[in-house]
A and B are shown apart, each in its own frame.
Chain A
């Protein structure tokens, strides 16, 4: 087991290296002087010179990469000249809304999608099954922001149940925080529910044809026990895998959802950084999101053994 974890950790090194090289090359592939680009439009020539020295731009490109990656590994992404702070500070300020949004979305999605998928598989061919499948195709076809605006229109403007936009920190006012989290997380959960429900249905459907399910039924176990303990548990690996892959959707969706609901998170920061061509921030956010994505999938890989003892490493 430990051996497996060690091997998996080693295996993500080349992946993250490619990501790092891409993120590093972003600035060098842009036409123009990287130092001038980093400094932004209002920089003085002294500032540009300072950045050029700090980045080692007179050195050969691989030395530049080593200098850059060395700093990044220490959490130093440089300074955002647009926001007038270090990128690390900027990210630390913006983590909370994104993390809250991701966790709420994940909870909502798993709580609704897994039972829906199991029921759809159990009542294969029924009206419920068709509805779940129809919803999952629809969920993939409507952009996140359209769902967001429809929900805002119904629940915030017409019914007035929930606030339209904004964010309150969790420590400041918990109920205010929850109130403002409902619509964004439901919005973001739609595509995730579509994905997870579809896979849950397909995997459970496959397991339901197995001999041991027939045996379990023959023993006289109730449907609930058969579905939850026998079918779902054996279908867990593909479901977990898709939850992991779906993190990419979640991250991409967060960028849009935060913009729609005015949440001051990392996704909104990404868009602001691109619009102001603030490259150190763009680089840091992309690197951060990719590392999180890879690590979550690593954890899920390792967790397979918990759900399926047949898998041994």
Chain B
């Protein structure tokens, strides 16, 4: 008897949840903000993937003969076989003669990768800790005190501290940006778990003897997906900016990797004469982050109407 009723409760709630989710997704994809942001992001993604085919040269190639050229200048450069060729540098060159256009395009790869990686890792870690904290009462107090403590350290300072411990590298920078984001995800997941736990259908599932794991994955986890996707987009946007800031300060990604932050860091000293080294990566960065933020706002309006009222 109990097996049958469990079956009924579960399949009914899953069906309800999945149709609701499907229509919400369809609705989200029709939101103009989501479309606008999504299209810009797809263009950026295409640039990142197609970077080698968009008229770029090796972004790390140093060419002392054509240092600090203004955008649009024609330069002559030597090929590997000794012959020379001419080429117009669209965004100029930096103080080592590297092509800024190629560096900016390849930098798209680093920034998008950091955004996606930080969002995915912090959401994954935050989800696990948040589920545990919201569901296992004895662990809650301890976990939340640690999260409160981490949140008391301003984000970039915490990242700076972690980079100083671990030394700069791509992976350490990603984790240094992840750590300050985790407490925010944990709080979000925990609040969803706490409110869902009191819903009649969860109590119903408990009363028919649904095992804890099933309860978590089938009934509680789906409720966290929409707010987490919204949160994830904002984390990705902020992560791209944080990487740029860390690299700009000289404590981020190693300087040989062409990231937007690194290009701008190198452009600092000669900014008064050659502003293009900061201008072009800055435009790409702002456009990307803007696209993610606009998409996030659109997603929040459709997926998470409760939160959209608050902010």
Chain A interface residues toward B at CB < 8 A? 14-19, 21-23, 26, 29-30, 137-138, 140-146, 149-150, 152-153, 157, 164, 198-199, 202, 206, 247-249, 251-252, 255-256, 259, 270-271, 274-275, 277, 279, 282, 285-286, 289-290, 293-294
A140 adjacent to B245 (CB under 8 Å): no
User: What are the nearest 3 A-B pairs in CB distance?
Assistant: A18-B149, A252-B156, A141-B290
A149-B278, A256-B245, A274-B163 given; A18·B150 CB < 8 A? yes
Would you mind naming 9 contact pairs between A and B with Cβ atoms under 8 Å apart? A16-B152, A18-B146, A142-B282, A143-B248, A145-B264, A202-B309, A275-B250, A275-B251, A282-B161
- CB contacts (< 8 Å) of B272 on chain A: these are 157, 164
A137-B297, A252-B154 given; A143·B241 CB < 8 A? yes
B251 adjacent to A274 (CB under 8 Å): yes
Inter-chain CA distance A282–B158, complex, in Å, is 11
Inter-chain CA distance A137–B309, complex, in Å, is 16
- CB contacts (< 8 Å) of B22 on chain A: these are none
Could you say which of B154, B237, B251, B290 has the most chain A C-beta atoms within 10 Å of its C-beta?
A: B154
Residue of A nearest to B291 (CB): A141
- CB contacts (< 8 Å) of B311 on chain A: these are 198-199, 202
B305 contacts A by Cβ under 8 Å: no
Main SS at interface, chain B: helix
- CB contacts (< 8 Å) of B149 on chain A: these are 14-19, 21-22
Residue of B nearest to A252 (CB): B156
- CB contacts (< 8 Å) of B152 on chain A: these are 15-16, 18-19, 290, 293-294
B32 contacts A by Cβ under 8 Å: no
B77 contacts A by Cβ under 8 Å: no
Inter-chain CA distance A145–B250, complex, in Å, is 13
Inter-chain CA distance A64–B264, complex, in Å, is 42
B293 contacts A by Cβ under 8 Å: yes
Inter-chain CA distance A32–B149, complex, in Å, is 26
- Having A146-B282, A202-B310, A256-B245, one finds 17 other A-B pairs with CB under 8 Å, namely A14-B145, A14-B149, A15-B148, A23-B161, A29-B165, A30-B165, A149-B271, A153-B275, A256-B156, A256-B248, A271-B251, A274-B164, A274-B251, A279-B164, A282-B160, A285-B157, A290-B157
Main SS at interface, chain A: helix
Inter-chain CA distance A4–B155, complex, in Å, is 29
A149-B271, A256-B249 given; A248·B293 CB < 8 A? no
- CB contacts (< 8 Å) of B249 on chain A: these are 255-256, 259, 271
Inter-chain CA distance A259–B156, complex, in Å, is 14
The 8 Å CB contact of B153, one of A22, A157, A275, is A22
Inter-chain CA distance A251–B157, complex, in Å, is 8
- CB contacts (< 8 Å) of A247 on chain B: these are 154
Interface residues of B in 115-167 (CB under 8 A from A): 145-146, 148-150, 152-158, 160-161, 163-165
Interface bracket on B: 35 or more
Interface residues of B in 249-286 (CB under 8 A from A): 249-251, 264, 271-272, 275, 278, 282, 285-286
The 8 Å CB contact of B157, one of A198, A270, A275, is A270
- CB contacts (< 8 Å) of B186 on chain A: these are none
A26-B161, A202-B311, A255-B157 given; A141·B145 CB < 8 A? no
B189 contacts A by Cβ under 8 Å: no
Inter-chain CA distance A308–B290, complex, in Å, is 36
- CB contacts (< 8 Å) of B153 on chain A: these are 19, 22, 286, 289-290, 293
A29-B165, A251-B157 given; A149·B275 CB < 8 A? yes
- CB contacts (< 8 Å) of B294 on chain A: these are 137
- CB contacts (< 8 Å) of A23 on chain B: these are 161
- CB contacts (< 8 Å) of A256 on chain B: these are 156, 245, 248-249
B173 contacts A by Cβ under 8 Å: no
The 8 Å CB contact of A290, one of B146, B154, B264, is B154
Residue of A nearest to B147 (CB): A18
- CB contacts (< 8 Å) of A140 on chain B: these are 237, 289, 293
- CB contacts (< 8 Å) of B264 on chain A: these are 145-146
A141-B237, A142-B282, A153-B275 given; A286·B245 CB < 8 A? no
A137-B290, A137-B294, A143-B248 given; A248·B164 CB < 8 A? no
B286 adjacent to A142 (CB under 8 Å): yes
- CB contacts (< 8 Å) of A144 on chain B: these are 245
A251-B157, A252-B154, A282-B161 given; A146·B251 CB < 8 A? no
B89 contacts A by Cβ under 8 Å: no
Inter-chain CA distance A19–B164, complex, in Å, is 17
Inter-chain CA distance A141–B153, complex, in Å, is 22
Residue of A nearest to B308 (CB): A202
Residue of B nearest to A145 (CB): B248
- CB contacts (< 8 Å) of A248 on chain B: these are 154-155
Inter-chain CA distance A294–B152, complex, in Å, is 6
- CB contacts (< 8 Å) of A22 on chain B: these are 149-150, 153
Inter-chain CA distance A255–B275, complex, in Å, is 22
Task: Name the distance in Å between B100's Cβ and chain A's nearest Cβ.
Answer: 15
B250 adjacent to A293 (CB under 8 Å): no
- CB contacts (< 8 Å) of A290 on chain B: these are 152-154, 157
Task: Name the distance in Å between A152's Cβ and chain B's nearest Cβ.
Answer: 8
Task: Name the distance in Å between B284's Cβ and chain A's nearest Cβ.
Answer: 11
Inter-chain CA distance A150–B278, complex, in Å, is 9
- CB contacts (< 8 Å) of A26 on chain B: these are 161, 164-165
B244 contacts A by Cβ under 8 Å: yes
Task: Name the distance in Å between B146's Cβ and chain A's nearest Cβ.
Answer: 6
Task: Name the distance in Å between B195's Cβ and chain A's nearest Cβ.
Answer: 20
